[in-house]
Amino acid sequence: MKYSDRLVEKMIRLIEEDTYTITEICEALKISRHTYYEWRNTKPDFRRKIDEAIDRRDDALVVIARRSLKQKLEGCVLTEERCVYEPARSNSEVQILKTRTVRKKQCPPDLRAIKYVLDRNDKRREADNSPSRRPMIINVPDQHTADMLRAMDEPDYWDKRQKMIDEKYAPGGIWSDKEKVDETAYKKDE
């Protein structure tokens, strides 16, 4: 099947309903998963529309989860009404209400499902807000410089470097002996 706006709209509608997987959507629209992912990688407009549909679906799930959480906090009460009828004495075809029972039942939503949707939304927002670390390409003249740059990227490099500097220039360090001045040359004759 060829790419068309009508096909994209159908796909978006199915994604927003949140009842189908990508495989099921592709089967329903008679396209292969390979074609779907190829369009997603090569057509920026298609990718943007699909991402927006997924965001709208996730936002709708968050609203439902928040409503369910509110019901859980406030308490949900279901009313069940049961009526028993019996035939009338004078006319057996007419039914008369014999008893009416009203039962109220507390029915909370599933807390694990609520937590899942809220955690998923929080992770998505954190990923959207966190700055991504883009790789930097640096051309270096030789292998020694490349090794030095790699070493600087190690997590504890700067701590080791500071420790080395402290040891080097601290009293009693390797530079302290060379810098010692002959104090006797500067003493005044007493």
Phi-psi region of 189 (alpha: psi -120 to 50; beta: other; left: phi over 0): beta
Domain ranges of the chain: 5-74+114-129, 143-179
Mean pLDDT value across residues 12-25: 88
pTM of the model: 0.45
- The CA distance from 116 to 110, in Å, is 10
Measured in degrees and rounded to the nearest 5, phi and psi for residue 85 equal -110, 155
DSSP assigned state of 102:
E
- The CA distance from 22 to 55, in Å, is 15
| Predicted confidence (pLDDT) at residue 47 exceeds the cutoff of 80 | yes
Residue position matching structure tokens 């992770």: 123
Residue position matching structure tokens 């700055």: 131
**Residues ≥6 apart with Cβ < 8 Å to 42:** none
- The CA distance from 130 to 126, in Å, is 6
pLDDT in the model for residue 190:
46
* Residues 37 and 50: beta-carbon distance below 8 Å: no
| Predicted confidence (pLDDT) at residue 40 exceeds the cutoff of 60 | yes
Token representation of residue 30? 């008679």
Q: Lowest-confidence range among 6-15, 101-110, 177-186?
A: 177-186
Token representation of residue 156? 């504890």
Give the pLDDT band of residue 31 (cuts 50, 70, 90).
very high
| Predicted confidence (pLDDT) at residue 13 exceeds the cutoff of 90 | yes
- The CA distance from 143 to 58, in Å, is 49
